[in-house]
Amino acid sequence: MKSESDCTLTIAIDGPAASGKSVVGREVARRLGIRFLDTGSMYRAITWAAIQRGVNANCASKLSSLACSSGIRLVTQSDEDRLLLDGTDITDRLRLPEVDSIVSTVSAVSGVRRALVAQQRVIAADGPIVMCGRDIGTVVLPEADAKVFLTASAEVRAERRAAEMQGRHNFGQVLDELRRRDRVDSERDDSPLSPAEDATTICSDDMTVEEVVLEILSKVRQC
């Protein structure tokens, strides 16, 4: 097994919306004593920047320039991950409904992906990391030591996400929104959501977070 001090240990976790990637990935990273990066927050940050600047979600060239010129910095403060965009903490904006509604359109733009994938690779080159997203095992870190495709039925994922929202959105709305986003993410031409050929698929419909974490750790131990 590669140890956490091995500078090449990389773990890729991909999967559809609300499959548990960030909760599970953060805990796997904590137990291994290595870093965690939720790449979805970077796509959300560019989407928020576009909304702020009035850039249309269908204008690929402006979105690409925005992704190239925006400074994204991820910092941990009091055990919380915060995202700074050009120095401003926008963490609390990343999950607003207006971001949810266009983030998949923005993320389908190749120029946006190129800019963010380059930054993600630079971050990964700095040392051991658990990275989660849609294209980590297929595109960002194709040589990752362990690749997991984490999934669950749309209904279970919507139930979990609706529970997080504490009744602010009803189950039906959340389910429709997840399905719509999964469809756009899976059907785009550039880096669609899809398991890497060498990924282990874990369906967490009947699994707790702890059970998924333990399964991933046992896979990492075999590396």
Instruction: Name the residues that contact ligand CDP, by CB under 6 A.
Output: 15, 17-23, 39-40, 43-44, 103-104, 107, 133-135, 160-161, 164, 181, 185, 204, 207-209, 212
| Structural contact between residues 193 and 182, judged by C-beta atoms closer than 8 angstroms | yes
CB closer to ligand CDP out of 3 and 172 = 172
CB closer to ligand CDP out of 6 and 214 = 214
Burial of residue 143 (CB within 10 Å: 0-12, 13-18, 19+) is exposed
Rg (CA), the chain: 17
CB closer to ligand CDP out of 5 and 187 = 187
CB closer to ligand CDP out of 39 and 91 = 39
- Our CA dihedral for 14, 15, 20, 21, rounded to 10 degrees, sits at 20
Which amino acid makes up residue 115?
Answer: A
CB closer to ligand CDP out of 2 and 160 = 160
CA dist 161 and 168 (Å) reads 11
* Token pair of 28 as six digits: 């796997």
- Our CA dihedral for 215, 220, 36, 93, rounded to 10 degrees, sits at -40
CB closer to ligand CDP out of 20 and 128 = 20
**Least distance from C-beta 220 to ligand CDP, angstroms?**
18
**Least distance from C-beta 219 to ligand CDP, angstroms?**
16
**Least distance from C-beta 114 to ligand CDP, angstroms?**
12
**Least distance from C-beta 131 to ligand CDP, angstroms?**
8
| Structural contact between residues 222 and 33, judged by C-beta atoms closer than 8 angstroms | no
How many beta carbons lie within 10 A of that of residue 111, not counting itself?
17
- Rounded to a whole number of angstroms, the distance between the first and last alpha carbons of the chain is 5
**Least distance from C-beta 181 to ligand CDP, angstroms?**
5
**Least distance from C-beta 119 to ligand CDP, angstroms?**
12
CA dist 156 and 142 (Å) reads 29
